[in-house]
Structure 1
Amino acid sequence: MKQIDISGLLDEHRESWNLSKSLTGPVFARRLVDAKILREHVFPFPQRKEKRFAKVKIPMLEVLQSVRNNAYFTHAFAMQAHHISQPGLCDIYLNFEQPAHERGGLPEQKSIDLAFRSKPRCTTNFIQFDNYKIVMLNGMSTGLLGVETLGVRTVHSEPATVRVTDLERTLIDIVVRPHYAGGVENVLRGFILARDRIDIEKMAGYLTALDYVYPYHQAVGWYLSQAGFSDGQLASFRVRPRDRNFYLAHQMTAPVLDEHWKIYVPRNFGAERGLYLEP
């Protein structure tokens, strides 16, 4: 969405529109809103309040995306954009990337165990908007890996053209932060619904490029196997090291270890039990 510079617009057209020299940008903006030429959008995020003026026909999602340069939609909202979740209202996740910084190596098992016994990190930088939340995420630097421009139709706004993570990047993101997708049940459902559209090699390449400290390839491999991919199809995941036991989510109660993928999963959870096979 092209942003409107109210003050610049006023300066450019003050004489040709015969506007008073005393007219200020805020007053001019209010007149345009009152005349229904522009719509005012206010997003009072705790970290920084954002205000935008846009033409009336510009969808809210396109306006929202403009609050940060190169921001893009992720997680539960991206699932909806790719039709791998139940339709309806969901929280909107908007991500903008932090500068790159050096990361460490694979943690020891004790450190992994301790981290996943604790609650997952959740941002507090969100606002309540009608019956859902708009959540602003400060994601790690990826160089906009797997971000595409997509036309979306949701119940949140008019049809819009926005930046959103592609299918494979979305699936990786919800594995890494299942609490931003409604939980592991929704993640599994998403993999199953995406089964015939997943590009395994693209996903493997994304994981290599993202270079996570934690062995998220084990969790992704588990979900792919639950979605019906064979060991042969998952060769690019099976050859990766599994030197640590890992976890599908934080704070699971009495999880069981899948010996093949070396990952703890909730007890009695998985597609083989007939769970989550329907959209």
Structure 2
Amino acid sequence: FEEVIIFDEKRGSTLTRYVATYTSVSPYEIALSLLSKSFLSHYSSLYVNDLTLNNPKDIYINKEQSKKPEMKKHNISQNRVDYAFSKKMRATTMIYNFKYHEEFYRVHVLNSKNTNNTGIISKKPINFSKKIRVTNLDRTLIDIVVRPKYSGGVKEILEAYVRAKSNININKIVTYLEKFNYLYPYYKSILFFLDYANYDIAYSQVIEGEFESKMNTEVNFYLDYQITNKILNKKIGVYYPPFLDNFKKSNDD
């Protein structure tokens, strides 16, 4: 067995894991050992679901919170949305790090809202010693637009939507969005990525038909927090960073 020392950045303490050397063990498995019944999400899920070409050294493990009483949903104002997205994205402070096979990893421990584990599957990726829990492709495509910072940023998210084309289930995404019942209109972010990834218009029409009659479509949303030199996509009603136009142009070509 190989000894792996894990440092708790918040408490300043350490803990130890002993990893088998007779089989292929992924650093993601070491990360998951930090939190019982946890699953991979966001950037880590992009990696496991083959939606990124990168091999991220930041690992995101997640555990859903216990069920809470459903809060009454109110219409949101433009001022409230503008203020929220002018600030940095709220991020976890529960972070660990460790060195494994000469590589340095940081583990971000998340506690997402309760969805009764919707879209969480069991899967054995290549170079893992066993099955692990991870968000499926369709839930991942929602989670990453909700928390861009945990997902490699908006360019990485757009590239993930491009790679997901042949496997996406837009009806499942709509079902998940309805169940998750977000306060903010994240469906607009998804519409943006579908458009910029050159999906058939029929995909967008499924989402528009389900949500535009139910939500405040007058509010302009944001693709990310603290966008510099933001541009408004008037058709969808979402602000986005200008460098994505270059990506779309190259993707069109």
44-53 or 135-144, larger mean C-alpha shift: 44-53
1:274 to 215, 226, 250: 250
Separation in 1, partners of 2:144, 2:74:
22
CA distance 1:97–1:51, shift in 2 (3 Å) = farther
For 1:226, the equivalent position in structure 2 comes to 196
Map 1:1-279 to 2 at 5 A: 36=1, 42-45=5-8, 46=10, 51=16, 57=22, 59=25, 60-101=27-68, 102-103=70-71, 104-130=73-99, 131-153=104-126, 158-239=128-209, 240-241=211-212, 242-270=217-245, 271-274=247-250
Q: Which structure ranks higher in relative contact order (CA pairs < 8 Å, sequence separation ≥ 6)?
A: 2
Separation in 1, partners of 2:150, 2:30:
22
Separation in 2, partners of 1:175, 1:106:
21
Structure 1 residue 63 displacement after superposition:
4.7
Secondary structure of the 2:203 match is: coil
Structure 1 residue 87 displacement after superposition:
3.4
8 Å contact from structure 2 (residues 88, 226) kept in 1: yes
Amino acid at match of 1:116: F
Encode CA deviations 1:72-101: one digit per residue, 9 max, x unaligned.
Answer: 001111101111112334311000111233
8 Å contact from structure 1 (residues 77, 92) kept in 2: yes
70-79 or 81-90, larger mean C-alpha shift: 81-90
Structure 1 residue 233 displacement after superposition:
2.7
8 Å contact from structure 1 (residues 153, 160) kept in 2: no
Encode CA deviations 1:242-268: one digit per residue, 9 max, x unaligned.
Answer: 231100000001211111211011124
Structure 1: runs of 5+ lacking an equivalent: 1-35
Amino acid at match of 1:274: S
Amino acid at match of 1:137: L
CA distance 1:106–1:152, shift in 2 (3 Å) = farther
8 Å contact from structure 2 (residues 142, 190) kept in 1: yes
CA distance 1:40–1:132, shift in 2 (3 Å) = closer
Separation in 2, partners of 1:274, 1:221:
19
8 Å contact from structure 2 (residues 7, 97) kept in 1: no
8 Å contact from structure 1 (residues 76, 90) kept in 2: no
Encode CA deviations 1:135-185: one digit per residue, 9 max, x unaligned.
Answer: 11111111111000111236xxx5442100000111111111111111101
8 Å contact from structure 1 (residues 98, 139) kept in 2: yes
Structure 2: runs of 5+ lacking an equivalent: none
Separation in 2, partners of 1:142, 1:41:
33
8 Å contact from structure 2 (residues 4, 98) kept in 1: no
Secondary structure of the 2:79 match is: helix
Separation in 2, partners of 1:118, 1:252:
10
CA distance 1:91–1:234, shift in 2 (3 Å) = same
Greater Cα radius of gyration, structure 1 or 2: 1
CA distance 1:137–1:57, shift in 2 (3 Å) = farther
Separation in 2, partners of 1:221, 1:253:
21
Structure 1 residue 41 displacement after superposition:
5.0
Structure 1 residue 56 displacement after superposition:
5.5
Instruction: Give the number of aligned pairs.
Output: 237
Secondary structure of the 1:97 match is: coil
Separation in 1, partners of 2:98, 2:34:
16
8 Å contact from structure 2 (residues 138, 169) kept in 1: yes
